[in-house]
Structure 1
Amino acid sequence: MWWLPPDLNAAVLLACAPALAIAIDRLLGEPALRWHPVAWMGRWLAWAGERLAPRVGEPRVLPDSRVFGFAALSWCAAAAAVFAVTWIFQDWVLTQPSWLAALALGLFLKPLLAWAMLHDEVLAVERALTESLDAGRAQLARLVSRDVSELSAHQVRESAIESLAENLNDSVVAPLFWFVLLGLPGAALFRFANTADAMWGYPGERGGRDWQWAGKWAARADDVLGWVPARITAALIALPAGHAAGPGRLPGEAARTPSPNGGWPMAAMALVLGVQLRKPGVYTLNPEGRTPEAADVLRACAIGSRTVLLATLLAYAALLGLLA
């Protein structure tokens, strides 16, 4: 890849950074919040969001076009700062001995992706369901933003599997994709965009504020940056399953969701498992499938682990130009 040094021996070491990041993720988990770059991004977004999104029910000081413009400029300024800081850091790292640079890239890539926590949280939902439905709902609430108070056990499992599939893209494949293209700045830019979408990208009211225009840029930016990775994620989920989730069925199922990206990995997971995945009143993926059972949650986690392994190998090959 263009940002790696031309020396083959050095490039081989540096291309190991994604595998190192995944290993650190599994062995050490998430860093403390005070050291976590995504938490820093979240704190800034929370601060800025309170000043950009108008309160519901209060007189509007600015027209919608101004709210959109200020929010877009704020997003761009913060994204540029994130990109510049990580670019300067990476530029310095690449001047160090190859073994040290590879270690540093792996260490700093780790907070920009997260698989172990997602895997464990989804399994924890199923464990909680064995205790009681209320416990399962409470555990699921850690993963999703929707109201879980009225969900049945089957719906809790559906939501957990959906969250696993969608976040395979947002938390692993997309950061790796942008790392391959641009190094740490690319992965950091995507994580900023994805975090901004999670905090600002709502079509209406949330937390007493109106995000219809304040969050529109953040939502569209995340859609753009996640468009290719989402389809790669779906392919990695579906590829080993053959015709069950082949190219003939996957696009049609993915189109059932309102999201241009989220439906792809979720549809692939539904087809591979042979289950329905539903959001009541919004969509039903693979409607002819059966209702998810406990074993399907375990299978989904196994499929996720396989997808992460394939994505890591693909990133290594792409960094060394083996796919050219």
Structure 2
Amino acid sequence: MILALAMVLDAALGEPEWLWSRIKHPAVLLGQAVDALDTRLNDGSTRRAKGIATTLLLAGGAWCLGWLIAVIPDYGLLEMLGAAILLAQRSLVDHVRAVADALRENLPAGRRAVARIVGRDTAEMTEAEVARAAIESGAENLSDGVIAPAFWFVLGGLPAMLAYKAVSTADSMIGYRTERHAEFGWAAARLDDVLNWVPARLTALLMLTVHGALRHWHRVPNDARQHRSPNAGWPEAAIAPLLGVALAGPRSYEGTVTDFPWVNPTGRRDAGAGDIEAACGILWATWAGALALVMLAAALPTLLWFAAASLAL
């Protein structure tokens, strides 16, 4: 029940500016730790070994911190607050919806809004490219910002959830295949792929299930494999047919256009602000489905006990 309360609290409050303008968000502290270790250790001829040690240190340290919080005798209050802080449903939807609002004003405003949530070049984006980028970001971050943290909480409580967030943060900062991080960030990138393998597929399955659209599932694995990421393609491949749009496709990074394959290639390629709004609805519906599963899992032991007691009478 701790996780269910955390999910509801995150959905209700998101990331209140009044709080995080006064103290540092845990994600910021994790980022500072990654940056410090990158600056100190990422050199020499043993970068991969140092990167492995860095990733294990971050994950292990986060696990220990989560364990210390979880064992405090406070009836799970701090564990619930910690889990709520590490979830990102409300902030995710707010950021994605902001792109739709900006795009309705004008294209330059839409480009500026989407630049806050994606890493690709945005200066020359068309309206459809802005919309697709926002939808793709929403689908991917639903998996690694909401479903994956919740999944790891179910398996290992706050320690596992915090360790996952440490690895995810490290991957987002040093997991890129640049000259500087190809070796040092290798472990963070690979471990992040492993930790997100099940949650990404669970997100896609849940997304289609809550919308009564499992008929699309047979297309999801093939479309997902076209994606450059082993995990991000799954939620994108699920949300694309629900919206009737094609996602992914060509995009530019650091001035270089790469011709990535399309996800749901038969879908419309003229996505707009309305499609972003529809995507936000899908994100909330999927979150609600996940919450229902968490509550059912929490109630299952009690239901089984009542069932056994009834049979014994």
TM bin, normalised by shorter chain, reads 0.7 to 0.9
Q: Secondary structure at the match of 2:124?
A: coil
State the one-letter code of the partner of 1:310.
Answer: G
Question: In structure 2, what is the Cα distance between the partners aligned to 1:69 and 1:321?
Answer: 44
Question: In structure 1, what is the Cα distance between the partners aligned to 2:211 and 2:286?
Answer: 12
Quote the residue 1:277 is aligned against: 247
Shift of 1:321: 4.5
Quote the residue 2:273 is aligned against: 294
Single out whichever of 25-34 and 194-203 deviates more from structure 2.
25-34
- Distance of aligned partners of 1:69 and 1:319 in 2 relative to their CA distance in 1, 3 Å threshold: farther
Shift of 1:134: 1.1
**1:42 aligned to which of 31, 39, 51:** 31
Shift of 1:80: 0.7
Question: In structure 1, what is the Cα distance between the partners aligned to 2:210 and 2:284?
Answer: 13
C-alpha contact (below 8 Å) 2:127/2:272 kept by paired residues: no
C-alpha contact (below 8 Å) 1:257/1:282 kept by paired residues: yes
Quote the residue 1:264 is aligned against: 234
Matches within 5 A, 1:1-324: 15=1, 17-30=2-15, 31-32=19-20, 34-54=23-43, 62-63=44-45, 66-92=46-72, 95-96=73-74, 98=75, 101=76, 103-205=77-179, 210-243=180-213, 246-280=216-250, 281-291=259-269, 292-321=271-300
- Distance of aligned partners of 1:245 and 1:145 in 2 relative to their CA distance in 1, 3 Å threshold: farther
Deviations 1:33-64 (A, max 9, x none): 6342111101111111223345xxxxxxx22x
Question: In structure 2, what is the Cα distance between the partners aligned to 1:240 and 1:29?
Answer: 23
Question: In structure 2, what is the Cα distance between the partners aligned to 1:25 and 1:243?
Answer: 27
Shift of 1:243: 4.8
Quote the residue 1:11 is aligned against: none
Task: Tell me which stretches of 4 or more aligned residues in structure 1 moved more than 3 Å.
Answer: 240-245, 319-324
Q: Secondary structure at the match of 1:175?
A: helix
Question: In structure 1, what is the Cα distance between the partners aligned to 2:166 and 2:249?
Answer: 27
What 5-or-longer segments of structure 1 have no aligned partner? 1-14, 55-61
C-alpha contact (below 8 Å) 1:177/1:315 kept by paired residues: no
Q: Secondary structure at the match of 2:217?
A: coil
Deviations 1:175-206 (A, max 9, x none): 0000011110111011111111100100114x
Q: Secondary structure at the match of 1:157?
A: helix
State the one-letter code of the partner of 1:184.
Answer: L
Q: Secondary structure at the match of 2:71?
A: helix
Q: Secondary structure at the match of 1:106?
A: helix
State the one-letter code of the partner of 1:283.
Answer: P
Q: Secondary structure at the match of 1:257?
A: coil
Question: In structure 1, what is the Cα distance between the partners aligned to 2:297 and 2:28?
Answer: 29
Shift of 1:293: 2.7
Question: In structure 2, what is the Cα distance between the partners aligned to 1:32 and 1:243?
Answer: 39
Shift of 1:135: 0.9
Question: In structure 1, what is the Cα distance between the partners aligned to 2:79 and 2:154?
Answer: 12
Question: In structure 1, what is the Cα distance between the partners aligned to 2:217 and 2:105?
Answer: 39
Shift of 1:319: 3.9
Single out whichever of 234-243 and 303-312 deviates more from structure 2.
234-243
Quote the residue 2:307 is aligned against: none
Deviations 1:69-119 (A, max 9, x none): 001101101211110121122022xx34x4xx2x33221111111111110
Shift of 1:320: 4.5
State the one-letter code of the partner of 1:216.
Answer: W
State the one-letter code of the partner of 1:116.
Answer: R
- Distance of aligned partners of 1:27 and 1:240 in 2 relative to their CA distance in 1, 3 Å threshold: closer
C-alpha contact (below 8 Å) 1:180/1:319 kept by paired residues: no
Shift of 1:254: 0.6
C-alpha contact (below 8 Å) 1:245/1:271 kept by paired residues: no
